[in-house]
Amino acid sequence: MAELGNDIDRAAGLLRSGELVAIPTETVYGLAADAIDPGAVVRIFEVKNRPAFDPLIVHVADIDEFSHYAGPIPPAAVKLAEQVCPGPVTFIFRKSRVIPDLVTSGHATVGLRIPDHPVTLQLLKSLEFPLAAPSANPFGFVSPTSAMDVQDQLGDRIPYILDGGDCQVGLESTIIDFSGHEPRILRLGGLSLEYLETLLQQRVAIQTSSSNPRAPGMLTSHYSPGRRLLVGDIPALIDSHPDLELGVLAFRHFYPGVVKQHQRILSPAGDPQEAARNFFRRLRAFNRLPVDLVIAEWLPDEGLGRAINDRLRRAAASADMPDRGAPPATNQ
């Protein structure tokens, strides 16, 4: 089991010696290593069982650091960053030579993000290097939103989990690519599309096609909840599965026909932000319940509801593969 605590100096010491440390952010917990040290970064891929083609996000403490690790940085990106950082956004720029190719999976671009969490910001400020950190879950599985989630999934593979409490956003960062002519979104996430478009004063294309592994968070099958999952009209799905033990993941309220203990509600008030905060936690809960099939409903497709629907879609696709168990071994 990993040691669990809030000792920032201890976390910094381990990171300086090339070890991995799980860190809290406002979105989800990350599995961090010194981004400049390929020997440390390669451990991230090993521990997560992550394919080498899936690049890592680099976390920094301040916008001023962007130009050290990437460039050119378009003025529109600087303006946006000044408004949303620290926050649940990752910026893609052309990378500088300082960033090892391993971090970006050989891509000419790098993802940079300033997480909005006091503990991790303090950690980043105390370090001499930025932190490469994917979500702290085995590749393909549900992202962790508490220190205990990390302990459950990776605790036997890392020395330390920096406990910063429950994640306040609950969905991974929105990824926006500024490396081309026009900004475009590669992953829907914790900052809504509508808000981004308001700040940028333009429509932004979404390019999250699963055929393109530019952002594997966008692979069709991802976020495996460990149970078969169907998304649609809950009463109809209950009717059409009379012989199965069902779990229900509902937006606002319980449904008749399934015992309450097997139902989870995302937000009784119908608030998409609250639903986002609860989403992975509630999905994860079905692992511990004796259910054969989880049925869920779509949220209104706007704001964070859109990002939740995206994850429901992918969780349902991955859950089509029963008994997925541990992800397949990879070279890295």
Kindly list the residues in this chain that would bind ligand TXA in the complex (CB under 6 A).
Answer: 25, 27-28, 30, 54-57, 90, 92, 104, 107, 109-111, 113, 115, 133-135, 172-173, 175, 186, 214-217
92 and 215 in contact (C-beta within 8 Å)?
A: no
| Interface segment toward Mg ion; rule CB under 5 A; list 129-137, 161-169, 230-238, 291-299 | 129-137
**Scanning the structure block, which residue is given the tokens 């937006």?**
251
Q: Is the dihedral of CA 232, 227, 278, 21 positive or negative?
A: negative
Verify binding: residue 90, Mg ion, rule CB under 5 A: no
Residue 217 CB, nearest distance to Mg ion (Å)?
Answer: 6
| Interface segment toward Mg ion; rule CB under 5 A; list 7-15, 61-69, 132-140, 161-169 | 132-140
Q: Which is nearer to ligand TXA, 88 or 247 (CB)?
A: 88
Nearest in space to 299 (alpha carbons), one of 311, 291, 315: 311
Verify binding: residue 135, Mg ion, rule CB under 5 A: yes
Residue 131 CB, nearest distance to ligand TXA (Å)?
Answer: 9
Residue 252 CB, nearest distance to ligand TXA (Å)?
Answer: 26
Q: Which amino acid does the sequence have at 152?
A: D
Residue 222 CB, nearest distance to Mg ion (Å)?
Answer: 8
Calpha distance 186→40 (Å, rounded)? 26
Q: Which amino acid does the sequence have at 223?
A: Y
Verify binding: residue 146, Mg ion, rule CB under 5 A: no
Residue 297 CB, nearest distance to Mg ion (Å)?
Answer: 24
Query: Which stretches does DSSP call E strand in the chain?
Result: 3-5, 21-23, 30-34, 57-59, 89-94, 109-113, 131-132, 160-162, 174-177, 184-187, 205-206, 228-231, 246-250, 263-265, 293-296
Chain positions contacting Mg ion, by CB under 5 A = 135
